[in-house]
Structure 1
Amino acid sequence: MTGIPLRSPAFIIAVTIFTMLPLAANSLLARAAIGADAIDPASFTTVRLLSGAAMLWLIAVLSGHASAREVRGSWASAAMLFAYAAAFSFAYIDLGAGTGALILFGCVQATMWLVALWRGERPHGLAWLGLVAACGGLVYLMSPGLTAPPPLAAGLMAAAGVAWGVYSLHGRGSADPLADTAGNFVRSIPLTIVLSLFWLGDLTWSAAGLRWAVISGALASGVGYALWYSVLPQLSATRAATVQLSVPVIAALAGVVLLDEALTLRLVLAAVLILGGIGLTLFARSVAAGQ
């Protein structure tokens, strides 16, 4: 038995699927830690970014992407990373894991679409239908009602999605995304320390909360991003975006199983509209591009 070649389609598919698990785990870890008052959201953000910076720096150095003395990235990207991480953490005071992941992912994609439209890209046919469906699903999910998410928490997660969308756009064209991401995490540390100092009167620490925050930063973020960047060059842009459709689904199902969260009809219908709309848009773009 010769095994699977490291760059074979089977290997790439396996790594891609596996990579979605740590990315989805961030929502579960934040909800488990912050929702249970095991750690306050400011401290969770700080520990997550610190441990993520350490892990990404270590991976980048050991893999030859950056030297120990070099800090890549930019302050603009670091500010967007911090804004995403902070809003993400505070949103999970009241949001369920699945609902938060769905709002986050939908707003990331919406931000990138709006920027593409502003830059002159004009979708046609099915792409417009997908855009309308996805945006309608977001509006439906966040609209008032008995099962609607708390408005402040939903707004914070939407802001996190916008920040991550802008961060992703900043990173397009990076010659060394792993090293740049490591540098952005390092640059975000002063910002998150200021946040924790501002939140000093409401700090909450526990062994469990610190453990979840470190796992979120070092493994779900650090190792997760490193895995993603290892497989990303093997995927087309459309396939890379399409595979990420699984992240909110994984987070929602895991939230039901592991955190005893309710799988409401609103969440299911919104997920169908948002993820189906995004998938339809990606399909239309892939057909237009001949991918």
Structure 2
Amino acid sequence: MTQRHPFTLPVLLALFAVYIIWGSTYLGIALAIDGIPPLLMAGTRFWSAGLLMLLWLKYRGHAMPTLRQWGNALLIGSLMLGVGNGAVTIAEQWVATGLAAVMIATVPLFSILCAHWLLGQRAHGVEWLGLAVGFGGILLLNSDQRLSGQPLGAFLLLAAAFCWALGSALSRRINMPTGPMSTAAQMLCAGVCMSLAGLLHGERIHHIPPTKAMLATAYLAVFGSLIAYSAYQYLLKTVRPALATSYAYVNPLVAVGLGTLFLSEPVTPRMVLAMTIILSAVLLVMLAQWQRSRQQR
């Protein structure tokens, strides 16, 4: 039976990983791409983490994915990590880390739309209200000069949020590798694709990158990918979805705090108001989903 108690040590450690580590990856990306081209950096981050996990699982006796499962892992990995994370990495060349994190907090809102269109899950009135409030917050956030002056960055961040939600919805309908092998295959496929895309786009590393950039990339691979992404998969199987996805409330706060502390990124009143509106909308959606899940039990 699936465990529902939210206060065991493994659950608390997993929540710490998705709250704090995932929130810190926005700063890690900014430091890493200050010396390494964005797609090559993101690709290296994911294919190295995926390959290490794959080899470890193979050593532990896990079955390798079938050819069809590899194809599905390529699709989902390309959506969630290739576009979902790759677009964020590219956008952070121009967009502050805190702004990027607030935009990505809209993933639960896009998830409602994807579930409605792809899975036939009819959204309730409160969920539609949450969507309306959330997208109002997006419009307010995009009126911030730092984001309105970078339309490509804003578009990439919205595309990243949508593709992460789309990949999450599709992954429930297709044949994926089982357990942690699914995570490993997705990371490996997405990492290879991003590295190839970077090379085709003309990205090259002509000199040894700065130590800061290499350490940040290693942090993203080990902590952001291997540890935090695995922790998220564990939470999805162990606790209620509303708790597993509650990182959406915390990541922007962590990212804004770290961006202000280490990169001296300004926090404007408009940004605070937009973040409050967006996170309130996400809370509305999560509460509606939690109430519906209780009614269906």
Q: Normalising to structure 1: TM-score of the pair? A: 0.84
Q: Specify the SS of the correspondent of 2:245.
A: helix
Q: Which residue is equivalent to 1:235? A: 239
Distance 2:147 2:92 in 1: 16
The question of 1:252 aligning with 2:249 is answered: no
Q: Which residue is equivalent to 1:214? A: 218
Q: Deviations over 1:264-283 (max 9, x none)?
A: 11221111111111101211
Question: How many pairs are equivalent?
Answer: 282
Q: Which residue is equivalent to 1:29? A: 28
Whether the aligned pair in 2 keeps the contact of 1:22 and 1:221 (CA below 8 Å) is no
Distance 2:192 2:160 in 1: 19
- 1:66 positional shift: 4.4
Task: Give unmatched runs, 5+ long, in structure 1.
Answer: 1-6
214 and 170 in structure 1: CA distance in 2 versus 1, 3 angstrom threshold = farther
Distance 1:192 1:270 in 2: 31
- 1:13 positional shift: 4.6
- 1:65 positional shift: 4.3
Whether the aligned pair in 1 keeps the contact of 2:108 and 2:285 (CA below 8 Å) is no
The question of 1:113 aligning with 2:112 is answered: yes
- 1:8 positional shift: 7.2
Distance 1:152 1:256 in 2: 23
Q: Specify the SS of the correspondent of 1:121.
A: coil
Q: Which residue is equivalent to 1:4? A: none
Q: Which residue is equivalent to 1:140? A: 140
- 1:79 positional shift: 2.4
The question of 1:56 aligning with 2:53 is answered: yes
The question of 1:14 aligning with 2:27 is answered: no
Whether the aligned pair in 2 keeps the contact of 1:111 and 1:165 (CA below 8 Å) is yes
Matches within 5 A, 1:25-104: 25-34=24-33, 37-58=34-55, 60-61=57-58, 65-66=62-63, 72=70, 74-80=73-79, 81-104=81-104
Deviates further, 13-22 or 130-139:
13-22
Match of 2:189 among 187, 211, 217: 187
- The one-letter amino acid of 1:183's match is A
Task: Give unmatched runs, 5+ long, in structure 2.
Answer: none
Q: Which residue is equivalent to 2:286? A: 282
Distance 1:285 1:98 in 2: 27
Distance 1:104 1:168 in 2: 14
- The one-letter amino acid of 2:150's match is P
- 1:92 positional shift: 0.6
- The one-letter amino acid of 2:90's match is F
Whether the aligned pair in 1 keeps the contact of 2:85 and 2:160 (CA below 8 Å) is yes
Q: Specify the SS of the correspondent of 2:260.
A: helix
Q: Normalising to structure 2: TM-score of the pair? A: 0.83
